[in-house]
Amino acid sequence: MTAGQVLLDAASKAGFYGLMTRSMGPQIRGGEAAALLRISTRPISSLDDHYDLLVAFDWGNINRFAAELPLSADSLVLADPTHGAMPEPIAAYGARAADLALKDIAATIPGGRVNMVGVGAAAALIGLPLDAVLQVVTTQLARKGEAVLAASTAAIKAGAEAAAALPATARLPEHAHDGAPRWNISGNEAAGLGALRGGIKFVAAYPITPATEVLEWLAPALEKTGGVLVQAEDELASINMVIGGSFAGLPSLTATSGPGLALMTESLGLAVASETPLVLVDVMRGGPSTGIPTKSEQSDLNIAVYGLHGDAPHVVVAPTSITDCLFTTQWAVYLAEALQTPALVLSDQAMGQSRIVAPQPQPAPFKAQRLVAEGGLETYQRYALTDSGVSPMAIPGTPGGQYVADGLEHNERGTPSSQASDHQAQMDKRADKLSTFDYGAHWADIEGEGDIAVITWGAVSGPVGEAIERAKAQGMKIRQISLRLLLPASPERMAEALAGVRRILIAEQTHGQQFTKFLRAHYDLPAERVVVNRPGPLPIRPNEILSRLLAWK
Amino acid sequence: MTVQTSLTAQDFKSDVKPIWCPGCGDYAVLSAVTKAMAELGRPREDIAFISGIGCSSRIPAYTNVYGFHGVHGRALAIAAGVKLARPDLTVIAAGGDGDGLSIGGNHFMHACRRNVDMTYIVMDNQVYGMTKGQASPTTAPDWCNSKLTPEGTGISPVEPARLALASGANFIARGFAGNPNEVARLIVEGIHHPGFSFIHVLSPCVTYRPEQREWKNVVHPGEGDPSKAIAEAMQRLSTDDGYTTGVLFAGTRPAFMPARHEKASMAEIEGKFLS
């Protein structure tokens, strides 16, 4: 991971854009891990179909993740000959191979490490300027002392020298920094920042892979901005602490993954019934049950949309890219607070644990703005029926606003009621406030034109976008619709977006076509359609989408 | 922040009619709670009263402060969220033995050790009343009057005060619904004591456990000063008959409250992403 991080940071320093995802095994520390990078002269949002260069530091457990490392015949595989022959699943790609004596070269340098030799060789092969690499390492290792830095510098240089004897591989073009400010950020950090920008002041959560980094980033950031983060004893506690924090007046958030979301669903219903705003970031991983905790999937869609008992209208949104984790989480804070309801953000491991070097994101105006009750509260009714369905919320400390928030059905005042008319009125209120709200153009990212549309969401939006670009280059006209607002559904906007479309392709990372079934339940879709779906962890590649689109040419 | 008011216990009662059975011990606890609230001298809006699910958990609606009637077992988590978000509020949580010690048992243990400055009242009647009379975690193993466990549970009951002490609670007291003035006094003392205070109240269920009417004959005050030493308190509670009332333990741990500073701007925080 360190090697990948150095290369990505160096690419950024040299003026390139880039993306790094990771594939990790189940080990607590060490074990197999791959840093998967793509470097480009222009902003990117997807991995490519294959890798041009594979540097193998060892072949340990390669069988477990070789499928995640697609190579072409032109690709180059570098490996230390002392690790033995290239294992079958890698050899099967038919790529070119070359020896790189990582261990021997490292051994010539006191304190020299193979990963830095690999970094030097890779940088030289792909044409990444060596001074950018050395600058990054100097910054990263400053606190580890001069000896470590000297050893790393020497190892990188030795690796770069060794590259001169290696066969050529795909090289980056000469490229000058365009001077535009850019960010180096992971999806989980972006979600944390979106929360902060939206005005989150209270976080309670329980650690879980792959969501923990959202919390680890937020803990010091919140502390420095007057907020509080608490580690709870479990997810049942974290969601209820968040409900308490929000009831007490602070915009509040928790982050989790599938198993935690499952534990939280009862209390999400409480937030719906008691009209307590909160944001829940779910960084999805392979399921069901413990599933594949370190790898991505989009299979929490069903539980996020349908998982609550009773009729429980709530908001579900999903970022459409790594950087969009910022915007969408910030928007979710705004929606939750404006609508006094839980808003779920469906991120995933592929976005959350990937880093991107991208243009600095544009600021968005969304801030927590809760309708609160202040003054003139002699006849205050917490759940008063209003035109918008949203009623002023009294915050503890406000004289005269005392009420009891309740998960029991209640009347306008908040007093428990099992009366049919109260149930009907409050159910209407909770549904109408969501369905009549103006979500604006943010409900989906829509691009392109033509009578073919690709409908997708989340991390799959990236490869879809790239596939459409390639299809356009071949003269096709295709529309992309990446949904950001999943719940409530927007049938009118979708009808507008699909006007003139005759054929659709739906792309999603689930085994059971959860997204396709969701779309069919909520929208009128053209009858002619193709679904590209697969469970994690193998991401859907641009060419898989492209080949289906070209069949319609 | 504290404002002296001249509110009476009656001012802290709402006009909502309790769903409790005639003779239920919880009426007396309600009186004790509202009396304690009046004695605090804080305005109604500065108190948050949080509960879960069960007969006794209905209590916030019968008061006139800010309340939250949540889901089963999670009152302490909501209460901790309220207090951590708004340290200026007085936070009281309440519920029954099933809510607090069975489905909410994990939160009880962690609330004791987290030591957030709030007060938790458990109205213990050793039975699930709302679901019509099943054994709770404090029910004796040979109680055979439930159709769910007609031979008794065969499981030893939890002793709430001992569990609280072992988990790190900073203040532990026991009261009896038949003596609401003492319960009110214990609640006030618990609220004033820093950190997590646990008030165990023996509150008879006359419907499913009519034999609990006899509790008035077995409760008795503790002897001597409440212990500040955990080892001594352990020793006393290990031989306690479960009917001793009064303060059982008053520890000296400071309350938990994360620090709050505003020492960085958003620009500084976001600057770290510039590459």
- Ordered by where they begin, the domains of chain A are 2-163 (3.40.920.10), 184-359 (3.40.50.970), 371-437 (no CATH), 443-550 (3.40.50.920)
pLDDT band, residue B99 (cuts 50/70/90) = very high
Q: How far is B20 from chain A (nearest CA, A)?
A: 14
pTM of structure: 0.97
Separation CA A353–CA A188 (nearest Å)? 6
Please give, rounded to a whole number of angstroms, the shortest distance from the CA of A6 to a CA of chain B.
13
Q: Considering only CA atoms, which of A531, A532, A548, A549 is closest in space to residue A540?
A: A532
Instruction: Name which of A184, A241, A402 is nearest B80 (Cβ-Cβ).
Output: A241
- What kind and span of H or E run contains A301? helix A301-306
Band (A551; pLDDT cuts 50, 70, 90): very high
**How many angstroms separate the CA atoms of A328 and A323, rounded?**
9
Give the chain A residue whose CA is nearest to the CA of B75.
Answer: A240
Closest CA to A509 of A442, A463, A452, A447: A463
Strands B47-51 and B66-69, by their bridges, are parallel
Amino acid at A199: G
User: Percentage of chain B surpassing pLDDT 70?
Assistant: 98
Nearest to A183 among B16, B77, B274 (CB): B274
Question: What ipTM goes with this model?
Answer: 0.97
pLDDT in tens, B115-127: 999 999 999 999 9
Q: How large is the average pLDDT for residues A378-394?
A: 97
Please report residues of A whose CB lies closer than 8 A to that of B61.
404, 406, 415-416
Closest alpha carbon to A123 in A147, A151, A85, A158: A158
Burial class (CB in 10 A: 0-12, 13-18, 19+), A37: buried
B77 vs A237, A246, A399: nearest CB: A237
- Contact assignment for B60 to A404 by CB distance below 8 Å: yes
Cα separation, A247 vs A229, in Å, equals: 16
Return phi, psi of residue B259, to 5°.
-70, 150
Give pLDDT tens digits for A510-529. 999 999 999 999 999 999 99
Q: In the predicted model, what is the mean pLDDT of residues A490-495? A: 97
Confidence of residue B16 (pLDDT cuts 50, 70, 90): very high
Strands A485-487 and A315-317: antiparallel
Question: Dihedral sign, CA of A250, A256, A258, A261?
Answer: negative
Structure confidence at residue B5 (pLDDT):
56
Tell whether the model's pLDDT for residue B217 goes beyond 90. yes
pLDDT(B228) > 90 = no
Q: What is the rounded distance in angstroms from the CA atom of residue A459 to the CA atom of residue A55?
A: 26
pLDDT for res A24 = 81
Q: Which domains does chain B have, with CATH numbers?
A: 19-271 (3.40.50.970)
> Residue B78 and residue A228: Cβ atoms within 8 Å?
no
| CB-based contact, A198 to chain B, within 8 Å | no
| B81, B261, B269 ranked by CB distance to A243: nearest | B81
Alpha carbon distance A175, A15 (integer Å): 7
Q: Report residue A25's pLDDT band, with 50, 70 and 90 as the boundaries.
A: confident
Predicted confidence band of residue B4 (pLDDT cuts 50, 70, 90) = low
Please work out, in degrees rounded to the nearest 5, the angle formed at the alpha carbon of residue B211 by the alpha carbons of B208 and B214: 140
User: Does residue B3 register a pLDDT over 60?
Assistant: no
Instruction: Tell which of B57, B71, B112, B130 to mutate to test the A interface (max A CBs under 10 Å).
Output: B71
Phi-psi region of A128 (alpha: psi -120 to 50; beta: other; left: phi over 0): beta
Say whether B204 sits in a helix, a strand or coil. Answer: coil
- Name the band, by pLDDT with cuts 50, 70 and 90, for residue A31: confident
Quick: pLDDT tens for A389-435.
999 999 999 999 999 999 999 999 999 999 999 999 999 999 999 99
How far is the C-alpha of B105 from the C-alpha of A447, rounded, in Å?
A: 52
- Within 10 angstroms of residue A524's Cβ, the number of other Cβ atoms is 10
Share of chain A above pLDDT 90, in %: 94
User: What's the rounded mean pLDDT across residues B246-261?
Assistant: 93
Alpha-carbon distance B178 to nearest alpha carbon in chain A (angstroms): 27
- A114-141 mean pLDDT: 95
For range B256-268, the mean pLDDT: 90
Separation CA A440–CA B30 (nearest Å):
49
Residue A93: pLDDT band with limits 50, 70, 90:
very high
pLDDT over 60 (residue B211): yes
Closest CA to B274 of A255, A119, A189: A189
Q: Residue A183: pLDDT band by 50, 70, 90 thresholds?
A: very high
For all residues of chain A together, what is the average pLDDT?
A: 96
A361 reaches B (C-beta below 8 A): no
Beta-carbon separation of A401 and B61 below 8 A: no
pLDDT greater at residue B192 or residue A142: B192
- Decide: A352 and A213 in contact? Cβ < 8 Å: yes
Task: Find, in chain A, the residue whose alpha carbon is nearest to that of B62.
Answer: A404
Residue A413 class from Cβ within 10 Å (0-12 exposed, 13-18 middle, 19+ buried)? middle
Mean pLDDT of all residues in A284-295: 96
The residues facing A508 across adjacent strands are A533
In a mutational test of the A interface, the residue from B78, B82, B91, B196 whose CB has the highest number of chain A CBs within 10 Å is: B78
pLDDT at B43 > cutoff 80? yes
Bridge partners of A252?
Answer: A202
Burial of A482 (0-12, 13-18, 19+ CB in 10 A): buried
pLDDT of A1 higher than 80: no
Q: What is the mean pLDDT of residues A241-270?
A: 98
Sign for the CA dihedral angle at A377, A380, A383, A387 comes to negative
Which residues of B are less than 8 Å from A244 in CB distance? 50, 68, 77-85
Q: Are B237 and B159 in contact (CB under 8 A)?
A: yes
Subunit contact B69:A234, Cβ cutoff 8 A: no
Per the CB < 8 A criterion, the answer to whether B212 and B178 are in contact is no
Position B262 scores a pLDDT of 84
Pairing of the two strands B197-202 and B171-176: parallel
Chain B residues whose CB is inside 8 A of the A230 CB are 80, 84, 258
Q: What's the gap between Cα B141 and its chain centre?
A: 24
